[in-house]
Amino acid sequence: MSAHKISDLLNGKVPVGETVSVKGWVRTRRDSKAGLSFVQIHDGTAFNAIQAVVQGTIANYEEEIVKLSAGCAVIVTGELAASQGKGQSVEIQAEKVEVVGWVEDPETYPVQPKRHSFEYLRDVAHLRVRTNTFGAVARVRNCLAQATHRYFHENDFYWVHTPIVTTSDAEGAGEAFRISTLDLTNPPRDDKGGIDYSQDFFGRETFLTVSGQLNVESYCNALSRVYTFGPTFRAEKSNTSRHLAEFWMIEPEIAFADLNQDADLAEDYLRYIFKAVLDERADDMAFFAQHIQKDAITRLEKFVDTSFERMTYTEAIGHLEKIVAKKPKKFEFPVSWGIDMQSEHERYLCEELCERPVVVMDYPKDIKAFYMRMNDDGKTVAAMDVLAPGIGEIIGGSQREERLDMLDARIAEMGLDKEEYWWYRDLRKYGTVPHAGFGMGFDRAVNYVTGMKNIRDVIPFPRATKLADF
């Protein structure tokens, strides 16, 4: 007999009275000296575990059942029955319990049926997914990823696999990791004594990608609607709860579109994937609402039902200046038009002023990247940030500069080398069109949905400075 999913048993998809079999891991065991034991078993298909009632009369009761501890792997076969106890509607009256894998030293098994700190669990990342919290995070993360592909597929986007290995980090998105097969202890030298990368694997300097955007623009200018979804690498030594050195980013890019359509897309997309979580992972979300963040569900529901607040950068600065006039000590950093807003400013906008995600548009050109489209005022560019309460910047996007002369002017202004961007500039020479896109930090989205505070706890095996275990 093939095994049943525990989720099917708990959801009533299998009628009471049927003989069932589950394969999973023991969460807890409670004995009754009346001669029976209760064993909670989980298999990852649902948040809840199912209770197996094991009578003392079965063959291996004294030998094995009473020795089961958290983490043991078992196959339980028996009749699905209405529960006599409180706390669950159905349970399995076990007729046979096969122990597949023991926990060799229960005393030091790292995951105990009790509350552990997330910091501690990070040190046992290979086992932490067995806990309620990390199992729920893994299911919600998967749900968001599946919903992402479904959303873009349903809206005629093509998923483009942009390269992981890139030849330039000149985009300015951040510090890049160098990749090389040269002998680090004795690298080949060129005439000037520098390292001779022409002898390296790719015949030139190469790095891990910091963004797929430039590449995906190429596909956008032929396929109209495209997106990337893959790992992204930044070598900044950030030490915060919202940065990783290896993270997953989603970057849609749409042709014949301006910044407003870009913002519409961001909003529509986020609403879609959040609704998917509410629909498909109600069990896990109930847990997050109960133990991690009280308003986890109501906040998402509100998000799905209402539109984002939208304002221009200039308006945002106006709001901040009003606050400074009223309460001069509110912010640590000064506010004036032209500043790159500090975290405290962004938090005020989305957490206090609007109490929901805010789209800020049209930033001063001096604080934004070269490829963003110059507005008619000559002072601002068509850039947007989506700021989420508790997370900060969850999305950053822009309309791209499609006019070659303007693009060249910006490249020069920022001291970049035109030749490095020859193929990117080609896109402006051959059938150029207005287009726009954004990048969303996928892991930050998982943080936002689950209410988990640290980004290291929503990715299976986090990589950050001084952190590459497992």
Partner RNA sequence: UCCUCGGUAGCUCAAUGGUAGAGCAUUCGGCUGUUAACCGAAAUGUUGUAGGUUCAAGUCCUACCCGAGGAGCCA
How far apart (Å, rounded) are the C-alpha atoms in residues 175 and 173? 7
Answer yes or no: are the C-beta atoms of 346 and 424 closer than 8 Å. Answer: no
Q: What is the DSSP string of 154-206?
A: HTT-EE----SEES--TT-SS---EE--S-TTS--B-TTSSB-GGGSTTSS-E
Looking at the Cβ atoms of 23 and 345, the one nearer to RNA is 345
89 contacts RNA (rule: CB under 7 A): no
Looking at the Cβ atoms of 4 and 234, the one nearer to RNA is 234
- Single-letter code of the amino acid located at 2: S
Looking at the Cβ atoms of 111 and 427, the one nearer to RNA is 111
**Binding to RNA, residues 348-407 (CB under 7 A):** 392-396
167 contacts RNA (rule: CB under 7 A): no
Looking at the Cβ atoms of 193 and 334, the one nearer to RNA is 334
342 contacts RNA (rule: CB under 7 A): yes
CB under 7 A: which stretch of 151-159, 220-228, 322-330, 341-349 binds RNA? 341-349
Can you name the residues that pair with 38 across neighbouring β-strands?
Answer: 30, 53
Three-state SS string over 294-356 comes to CCHHHHHHHHHHCCCEEEEHHHHHHHHHHHHHHCCCCCCCCCCCCCCCCHHHHHHHHHHHCCC
Of these, 128, 139, 243, 271, which contacts RNA (CB under 7 A)? 243
347 contacts RNA (rule: CB under 7 A): yes
Of these, 5, 56, 60, 122, which contacts RNA (CB under 7 A)? 122
The size of the chain, in residues, is 470
Of these, 30, 189, 204, 302, which contacts RNA (CB under 7 A)? 30
54 contacts RNA (rule: CB under 7 A): no
CB under 7 A: which stretch of 94-102, 116-124, 139-147, 413-421 binds RNA? 116-124
How far apart (Å, rounded) are the C-alpha atoms in residues 414 and 405? 14
Of these, 7, 14, 67, 73, which contacts RNA (CB under 7 A)? 67
CB of 444 to RNA, least distance (A): 5
53 contacts RNA (rule: CB under 7 A): yes
How far apart (Å, rounded) are the C-alpha atoms in residues 238 and 343? 14
Torsion sign over Cα 332, 338, 343, 344:
positive
Looking at the Cβ atoms of 234 and 428, the one nearer to RNA is 234
84 contacts RNA (rule: CB under 7 A): yes
CB atoms within 10 A of CB 342: 15
440 contacts RNA (rule: CB under 7 A): yes
CB atoms within 10 A of CB 374: 18
249 contacts RNA (rule: CB under 7 A): yes
With DSSP H G I counted as helix, E B as strand and the rest as coil, what are the percentages for the chain, rounded to 5?
35, 25, 40
CB of 238 to RNA, least distance (A): 4
Answer yes or no: are the C-beta atoms of 31 and 37 closer than 8 Å. Answer: yes
CB under 7 A: which stretch of 152-160, 182-190, 418-426, 451-459 binds RNA? 451-459
117 contacts RNA (rule: CB under 7 A): yes
CB under 7 A: which stretch of 139-147, 272-280, 322-330, 447-455 binds RNA? 447-455
